[in-house]
Amino acid sequence: MVLSFTSQRRYATYGIAILIAIFSVSPASFAQDHNLAKELSKAFRSAVESVNPAVVSIQAESKTEPVQSAEIPEWFKQFLPPGYNNGDQSPQERRIDWQGSGVIISPEGEILTNNHVVSYTNRMGQSTDATKINVTTADGGYYEAEVVAVDPQTDVALIKLKDTKDKKFPFAKFGDSDAMQIGDWVLAIGNPFGLNQSVSEGIISAKGRTGADVPVGANSEFQIKDYIQTTAAINPGNSGGPLINLDGEIIGVNNAIQTAGAIAGNIGIGFAIPSNLAKKVIDDLKQYGKVNRGYLGVKVQEISPEQREYYINEYGINYGAFVKEVLSDSPSKNAGVEEGDLILRVDGVKVHDSGHLINLVTDRRAGDKVELLLLRKGEQLTKTVTLAERPDTIEVASASTLSEKYLGLDLDTLTAEKAKELGYPEDLKGVLVTDVVPGSSASQKNIAQNDVITEMNDKPVANVDDVEAILTKVTDEMKSDNDDERPILMKVHRAGSRLHPIFVAPYIELN
């Protein structure tokens, strides 16, 4: 493109104006900004110096049951070196190692960390407790530690250093996480990738996040999630370390990160357990040996886009938790809560979503009475519920389909009408994901409600029967081959996505 003389003169004028603006900053203004930066740096340094001596590195290991190695053929034993047990292949024990972070919270060496730092969870969501825990302190001390108590529902754990010979340790103090505001500066300290005492800075991006998916064993769908979201870099190995304010107080426990595909590191979205929640859990565990939490006895789900549109158009409501099941002989059943109700408020507090409802209820104790505001068939009504104590697990109904049993997917055949409604091509053939069990194999691969699966193991699926037939064949082969787990390749479409269909491979597990 060739610019006219007039255009050239205009752009030159713009450029001169920009240069004048850049270089017209007064020395006084520059000095003021420089001093503000130095003061912020000083605040960072002071906060780190007060907490860093209490931050520890945790190394954990677990030994699995002995595994019988394949038997060596007799003809091959002649090639083995002398002293090789004559080819004896006795069952071999396997060891799994992992690491994380923690923070000392008492002079006696009590350490706050994550439950998943002291127990290992594999890709199938199965957990095994650490059989040995070693801790390296900031001054280079090396100690064994023991688990005092854990709370899988919040992923909080308390461990204690052993054989300390009455040594007193530097410890960090708790701050008030409720007092922190979006935009406040925070610092994350821990041992990412084994780099001890690493510090990163950021701000609080959001509070009360409930969507971060952190599977913890078989009961991940029962986990309490109430996260602080932060831009402070959190990477593998940071788990269990403190998130602190500029006063050098613990306001969170680093717990999880949002990742982008195969990138297993920080992308600016990290999550921490609020300190007020962690402190309540620790205090209960130390005093009672367990955490006393309120329990409604309902299963709830997020409002689907279609439901949200209906509630907005009909009632001007775009919030709440949808009751998909009321458990028998539960507090909610006894109070008259029904399947299909939309829970709008708890004791006058607006319920943003299902995760928020769980947090509001579990923050109370068994025996407390709560008033629920419900929307039922266009009518608002109130029910008073006397909370029971939240159990460690909930009874899950037996899966009615193989897709639900092995993958955690509720599926329905995609119709042309439904495809059009969700923004898919009307001629798309496949099965519609109507629900995903949290923590399931499909959930861990980020398969979501309203996704459409069009292929499984390179075979087209046009209806639920096609899916069941493929899963039947795969599971029969697994049983025949004594194979406990096997991936199944899926071609998945997502409405509104400009990307091509993606391929994911959740695992099927027989046991």
Over residues 450-497, the pLDDT tens digits come to 889 999 988 999 998 999 999 989 888 888 888 778 888 999 988 766
CA–CA dist 174, 54 (Å, integer): 12
What phi and psi values does residue 319 have, to the nearest 5 degrees? -145, 175
Q: Judge whether residue 333 has pLDDT over 60.
A: yes
CA–CA dist 51, 403 (Å, integer): 48
Residue from 57, 116, 119, 466 carrying the catalytic annotation: 116
Q: Judge whether residue 129 has pLDDT over 90.
A: no
- For residue 461, the model assigns a pLDDT of 94
Amino acid at 100: G
CA atoms lying within 13 Å on the CB side of residue 254: 37
Reported confidence tier of residue 5, pLDDT bands at 50, 70, 90: very low
Residue 364: DSSP 8-state: S
- For residue 124, the model assigns a pLDDT of 47
Active site residue 329: no
As a whole number, mean pLDDT of residues 182-201 equals: 92
Q: Judge whether residue 69 has pLDDT over 70.
A: no
Q: Judge whether residue 171 has pLDDT over 70.
A: yes
By C-alpha distance, which of 120, 116, 125 is closest to 155?
A: 116
CA–CA dist 44, 444 (Å, integer): 36
- For residue 243, the model assigns a pLDDT of 96
- For residue 108, the model assigns a pLDDT of 94
- For residue 378, the model assigns a pLDDT of 87
Q: CA 241, 148, 274: angle at the middle one, nearest 5?
A: 35
Residue 504 vs residue 148, higher pLDDT: 148
Instruction: Sketch out the chain's domains with CATH numbers.
Output: 37-65+94-291 (2.40.10.120), 294-389 (2.30.42.10), 402-509 (2.30.42.10)
Active site residue 34: no
- Per the document, the length of the chain is 511
Across 115-119, 225-229, 233-237, 304-308, least confident range: 304-308
Q: Which residue has the tokens 């940071």?
A: 238
Would you call 280 exposed, middle or buried from its count of C-beta atoms within 10 A (0-12, 13-18, 19+)?
A: middle
Residue from 57, 62, 101, 155 carrying the catalytic annotation: 155
Active site residue 116: yes
Give pLDDT tens digits for 263-279. Answer: 556 778 889 999 999 99
- For residue 309, the model assigns a pLDDT of 85
Would you call 23 exposed, middle or buried from its count of C-beta atoms within 10 A (0-12, 13-18, 19+)?
A: exposed
The whole-chain average pLDDT of the chain stands at 82
What stretches of 137-264 adopt beta strand conformation (E)?
A: 142-151, 156-161, 173-174, 185-190, 198-209, 227-230, 242-244, 249-257
Residue from 239, 332, 440, 443 carrying the catalytic annotation: 239
What is the CB neighbour count within 10 angstroms for residue 35? Answer: 10
CA atoms lying within 13 Å on the CB side of residue 88: 8
Q: Which residue has the tokens 């996260």?
A: 227
Give pLDDT tens digits for 314-323. Answer: 889 989 999 9
Q: Judge whether residue 439 has pLDDT over 70.
A: no
By C-alpha distance, which of 59, 54, 372 is closest to 244?
A: 54
- For residue 219, the model assigns a pLDDT of 39
By C-alpha distance, which of 112, 99, 104, 108 is closest to 53?
A: 104
